[in-house]
């Protein structure tokens, strides 16, 4: 064999170090080799310095106060990789007074800690401080740390699994877990018993996930500080929050938002949130309340169950704001001030959700473009079922949105749909309510004086108005369009007004009693009627009759509107097409 060949073999063999199994126990001896129980070392710090890479270090039951050369905490550097530290029995690692952290990791790849009780002694600020590399924490308990349990900064493929955080203490002031500037990491199957800030805070943690964790319990829900959130995620693409349970005494549930435009594809799937007291708090908040640029692109919020007290001082069960191409589907929302609140979204699909017992509005759509809201079931508890509003401060006017195939269960004397703001659907799109069915005894539609248009497709035949349905007008009534009349060629419309609640009230058009016939022209017709001397809190009925040369006539259902304060009101009737579809 030549010298050149021998040299090559030498360089191939040197990098591979055979792993060993080392042993540590409180009554061990650091002068021994540590390769058996009988020759165990006596400290974890000593094992860090003397074990090889690719090795397993077994630590036996007992309490370990570690005071390494680094000033009271363990320092694991990048020189030795792929080591597993495994606790057998009740292994408690403690720190001395005035020590700010328990373990500092500086880069070693694949360091595993499992089976430990890490006790910060109400002195240590932080348990695990990892600068980079990948770490695995499995089957451990983190107790009595002042601020943080685990801080993972940088690296990939970190795993935090089957750990317990905060059991036995209620003053971990900030976050049990912090994830920053890392990738492909998992937080799964952990139990959280305390914390006052965000229990998991993730910043720039793309392709990572929080799955199958339990936060609190029904008997001991968690209470967080003001504005704290149980899970907060920022600037993280492809982040998944799935199958978690949150029992919240006070505080937000999950907040996913971004400070950088263009963060993509966050997923919140099949989580269950039980919020027992959350004044002015959210269950799930995705996006932003105020940003005019898109915070998130392609969010998927599906299959979640959220329960919140049915009190109007509470905020939203689910809020989605300023996103693009989001899917919000199959969520079950019970209680809260608002059930599902939407603001400033574009191209969102909102379908298959169930909303119950919201105390202010069950579903609100506030500004945004091209959204489709369909196949939802809403059981109203108080005030309004659905609200469509246009908030100028949002900077994104509401237009070209579709509402269809929704089912609303409306108790007596509650409002079905509220149209507010300045919704101009003619100049910039349309709001569609086709195939929307109201199941309650008294279905009501309300419009404020600021509502510009109110558009229906096939209102008379498909909208499902019962004979007790109301058009409830606070001020000027908007255009009511697209009442379909089939089988005749309309040439005239006759509107008959009466009141079923006050025989002394007379509807007047100017000074004349209203029993009006409108004759159409070739180009259609439009009529405005100002009704005066209306009694307050009175329902006025009217019926529209469409005739073909006075021979073939079709009557509408009995329609009505209800006054609030009385006085005057303006009715606007328009027809501008003929044939099978006749608009009133």
Tell me: the pLDDT tens digits for 456-473?
332 222 333 333 444 433
Tell me: the pLDDT tens digits for 187-236?
999 998 876 667 888 888 999 999 999 988 888 888 766 556 678 888 88
When pLDDT is averaged across residues 532-552 and rounded to a whole number, the result is 58
Q: 16-21: which pairs have CB atoms within 8 A and are 24 or more residues apart?
A: 17/52, 17/53, 17/54, 18/52, 18/54, 19/52, 19/53, 19/54, 19/55, 19/56, 19/82, 20/51, 20/52, 20/55, 20/56, 21/55, 21/56, 21/57, 21/58
CA–CA gap between residue 122 and residue 111 (Å, rounded): 26
CA–CA gap between residue 99 and residue 126 (Å, rounded): 9
User: Looking at residue 291, what is its pLDDT?
Assistant: 62
**Residue 258 placed within a domain:** no
**Residue 208 placed within a domain:** no
- 431 sits in the region (left: phi over 0; alpha: psi -120 to 50; else beta) called beta
User: Looking at residue 282, what is its pLDDT?
Assistant: 79
**Full residue range of the structural domain in which residue 499 is found:** 492-575
| pLDDT over 90 at 131, yes or no | no
Higher pLDDT, 518 or 80: 80
CA–CA gap between residue 327 and residue 193 (Å, rounded): 32
**Residue 518 placed within a domain:** yes
When pLDDT is averaged across residues 324-351 and rounded to a whole number, the result is 91
When pLDDT is averaged across residues 294-321 and rounded to a whole number, the result is 83
Sheet strands (E) in 251-297 = 252-257, 263-264, 267-269, 272-275, 284-287, 296-297
| pLDDT over 50 at 482, yes or no | no
3-class DSSP state of 426: helix
User: Looking at residue 234, what is its pLDDT?
Assistant: 84
pLDDT category, 121, cuts 50, 70, 90? confident
How many structural domains comprise the chain? 1
Percentage above 90 pLDDT, the chain: 23
**Residue 535 placed within a domain:** yes
| pLDDT over 50 at 448, yes or no | no
| pLDDT over 50 at 527, yes or no | no
Q: Report the chain's mean pLDDT, rounded to a whole number.
A: 71
**Residue 553 placed within a domain:** yes
User: Looking at residue 319, what is its pLDDT?
Assistant: 87
Of 236, 215, 341, 210, the C-alpha closest to 281 is 341
pTM for the structure as a whole: 0.74
| pLDDT over 80 at 55, yes or no | yes
The burial class, CB within 10 Å (0-12 / 13-18 / 19+), for 62 is middle
Tell me: the pLDDT tens digits for 502-523?
333 333 333 333 444 444 333 3
CA–CA gap between residue 466 and residue 351 (Å, rounded): 25
- Max avg pLDDT among 67-81, 388-402, 502-516: 67-81
CA–CA gap between residue 206 and residue 208 (Å, rounded): 5
**Residue 105 placed within a domain:** no
**Residue 516 placed within a domain:** yes
Residue 470: strand pairing partners: 444
**Residue 241 placed within a domain:** no
CA–CA gap between residue 80 and residue 285 (Å, rounded): 42
| pLDDT over 60 at 118, yes or no | yes
User: Looking at residue 272, what is its pLDDT?
Assistant: 94
**Rounded alpha-carbon distances, angstroms, from residue 182 to 236, 324, 526:** 10, 25, 63
In SS3 terms, 133-186 reads as CCEEEECCEEECCCCEEEEEECCECCEEECCEECCCCCCCCCCCEEEECCECCE
Which region among 200-209, 276-285, 492-501 has the lowest average model confidence (pLDDT)?
Answer: 492-501
């Amino acid at each position: 064999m030549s010298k050149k060949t021998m040299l090559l073999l030498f360089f191939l063999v040197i990098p591979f170090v055979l792993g060993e199994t080392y042993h540590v126990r409180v009554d061990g001896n650091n002068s021994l080799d540590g390769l058996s129980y009988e020759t165990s070392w006596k400290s974890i710090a000593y094992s860090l310095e003397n074990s090889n890479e690719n090795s397993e270090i077994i630590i036996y039951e007992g309490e370990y106060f570690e005071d390494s050369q680094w000033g009271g905490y363990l320092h694991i550097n990048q020189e030795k990789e792929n080591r597993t530290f495994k606790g057998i029995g009740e292994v408690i690692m403690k720190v001395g007074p005035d020590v700010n952290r328990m373990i500092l990791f500086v880069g070693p790849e694949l360091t595993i800690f499992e089976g430990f009780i890490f006790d910060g002694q109400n002195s240590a600020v932080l348990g695990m401080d990892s600068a980079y590399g990948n770490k695995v924490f499995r089957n451990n308990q983190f107790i009595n740390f002042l601020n943080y349990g685990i801080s993972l900064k940088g690296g990939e493929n970190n795993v935090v699994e089957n750990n317990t955080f905060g059991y036995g203490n209620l003053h971990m002031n900030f976050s049990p877990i912090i994830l920053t500037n890392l990738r492909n990491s998992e937080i799964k199957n952990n139990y959280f018993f305390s914390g006052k800030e965000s229990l998991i805070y993730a910043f720039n943690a793309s392709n990572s996930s929080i799955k199958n964790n339990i936060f609190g319990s029904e008997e001991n829900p968690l209470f967080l500080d003001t504005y704290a959130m149980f899970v907060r995620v920022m600037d993280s693409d492809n982040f998944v929050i799935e199958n978690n349970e949150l029992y919240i005494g006070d505080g937000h549930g999950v907040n996913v938002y971004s400070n950088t435009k263009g963060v993509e594809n966050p997923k919140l799937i099949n989580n269950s949130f039980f919020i027992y007291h959350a004044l002015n708090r959210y269950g799930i908040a995705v996006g932003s309340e105020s940003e005019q640029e898109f915070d998130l692109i392609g969010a998927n919020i599906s299959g979640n169950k959220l329960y919140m007290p049915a009190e109007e001082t509470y905020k939203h069960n689910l809020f989605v704001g300023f996103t693009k191409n989001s899917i919000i589907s199959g969520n079950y929302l019970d209680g809260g001030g608002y059930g599902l609140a939407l603001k400033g979204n574009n191209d969102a699909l909102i379908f298959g959700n169930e909303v119950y017992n919201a105390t202010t509005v069950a579903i609100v759509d506030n500004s945004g473009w091209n959204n489709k809201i369909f196949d939802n079931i809403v059981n109203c508890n108080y005030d309004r079922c659905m609200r469509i509003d246009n908030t100028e401060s949002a900077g994104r006017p509401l237009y070209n949105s579709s509402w269809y195939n929704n089912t609303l269960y409306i108790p007596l004397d509650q409002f079905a749909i509220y149209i507010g703001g300045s919704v101009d659907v003619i100049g910039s799109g349309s709001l569609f309510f086709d195939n929307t069915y109201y199941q309650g005894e008294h279905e009501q539609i309300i419009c404020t004086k600021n509502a510009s248009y109110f558009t229906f497709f096939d209102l008379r035949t498909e909208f499902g108005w019962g004979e007790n349905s109301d058009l409830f007008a606070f001020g000027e009534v908007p255009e009511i369009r697209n009442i379909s009349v089939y089988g005749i060629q309309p040439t005239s419309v006759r509107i008959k007004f009466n009141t079923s609640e006050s025989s002394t009230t007379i509807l007047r058009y100017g000074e004349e009693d209203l029993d009006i016939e409108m004759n159409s022209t070739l180009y259609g017709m439009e009529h405005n009627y100002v009704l005066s001397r209306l009694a307050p809190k009175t329902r006025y009925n009217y019926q529209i009759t469409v005739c073909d040369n006075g021979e073939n006539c079709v009557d509408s259902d009995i329609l009505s509107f209800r006054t609030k304060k009385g006085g005057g009101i303006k009715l606007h009737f328009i027809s501008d097409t003929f044939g099978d579809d006749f608009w009133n």
